[in-house]
Amino acid sequence: MRRGGFPNRVLPYILVSPSTIIIIIFLIIPFFQSLYMSFFRVSSFGTTSHFVKLDNYLKLLTSGDYLNSLVVSMIFAAIVVGFGLAISLGIAVLANQKVRGLGFYQIALIWPYALSPAVAGVIWALLFAPSTGIIPYIVSVITGGYTLNWMTNGSFALIIMAIAATWKMSGYNIVFFLAGLQNVPETLLEAAAIDGASPFKRFWKITFPMLSPITFFLLIMNTLYAFFQVFGLVDIMTHGGPGNATEVLVYKLYRDSFIFHNTGYASAQSVVLFFGVAILVMFQFKIIGRRVFYAR
């Protein structure tokens, strides 16, 4: 009996060639260019370059500004990933209940993800504007005149930016959690309820383990988002301030490259960021991936 197969051997390669070409031009080639430039010290206008071996990488290890950005990025990512997934799962559980107007709520929850980072940054910046924002006004009324100025408080600014990033990603997380919740067999939950299991125990022992593949996927995606995709939010809301308190790694890379024109040093930062996040993701696959339950 003849095996089924694609009749044209060339056509599959033609179909995938546009995506492949885009990946090569905009991802692979720039990566190797950054790797190459990280071993050079380039003049401000890019006219001359000097081979400096590993000096740019050694400078990263001794730079207080870079180490500060590293710590800020780790705190920011921990809030976005941990707090974001927990809140999104809770909202998804509520949105999965049988209530009136459920379809509208489920559609509305995706709206934050549909906004561009710049628009999301403007919304949150206006909400917390010290003189005109609604949140500082409410705080002032409740506390009897306390001025909430996140533009002069670095720790508070980092928290607000992390909450904004969490809100921006929440729609994406909720949609996936909803899809997983709707695939949990009702018979298992009903059987556990008959055996006397409480709602919390049913969720923790049955629902959450069956959501582990989606949770693991979202853990990876949120990690990548927290390190690579928050530039627009930071640039609109804080510009890395106050006092570099919100200068995450991807924003410091941008400033060193495009504002201070230190191309070689910025290239070294991009390489370190790429391999650092790659190692973190591999660690997640190695440690957390083992605990993922795939139902058969």
Six-digit token string for 2: 């003849």
- Exposed / middle / buried, residue 123 (Cβ in 10 Å: 0-12, 13-18, 19+): middle
- Residue 164: φ, ψ to 5°: -60, -40
Q: What is the dihedral of CA 29, 34, 37, 39, to 10 degrees?
A: -120
The span from the CA of 291 to the CA of 287, in Å, is 8
Domains annotated for the chain, with CATH where assigned, are 54-291 (1.10.3720.10)
Stated as kind and residue range, the H or E segment containing 265 is helix 263-287
Which residues lie below 8 Å from residue 52, measured CB to CB, with a gap of 6+? 39, 40, 41, 264
Q: What is the CA radius of gyration of the chain?
A: 24
pLDDT of residue 65: 92
pLDDT given for residue 1 in this prediction: 46
* pLDDT value, residue 169: 94
Q: What would the mean pLDDT of 127-140 be, rounded to a whole number?
A: 88
Summarize the confidence of residues 15-31 as an average pLDDT: 92
pLDDT of 72 reads 95
Q: In 3-state terms, the chain is what percent helix, strand and coil (to 5)?
A: 70, 0, 25
Single-letter amino acid, residue 134: I
The pLDDT of 132-139, averaged and rounded, is 88
| pLDDT average, residue stretch 218-246 | 92
- Residues of the chain with pLDDT > 90: what percent? 47
**Does the pLDDT of residue 250 top 60, yes or no?**
yes
Render pLDDT for 68-113 as a digit per residue (tens, 0 to 9): 999 999 999 999 999 999 999 999 988 888 777 777 777 788 888 8
235 vs 96 pLDDT, higher one = 235
Q: What pLDDT is attached to residue 4?
A: 56
Instruction: Give yes or no for residue 44 having a pLDDT over 80.
Output: no
Among 25-34, 42-51, 227-236, 263-272, whose mean pLDDT is lowest? Answer: 42-51
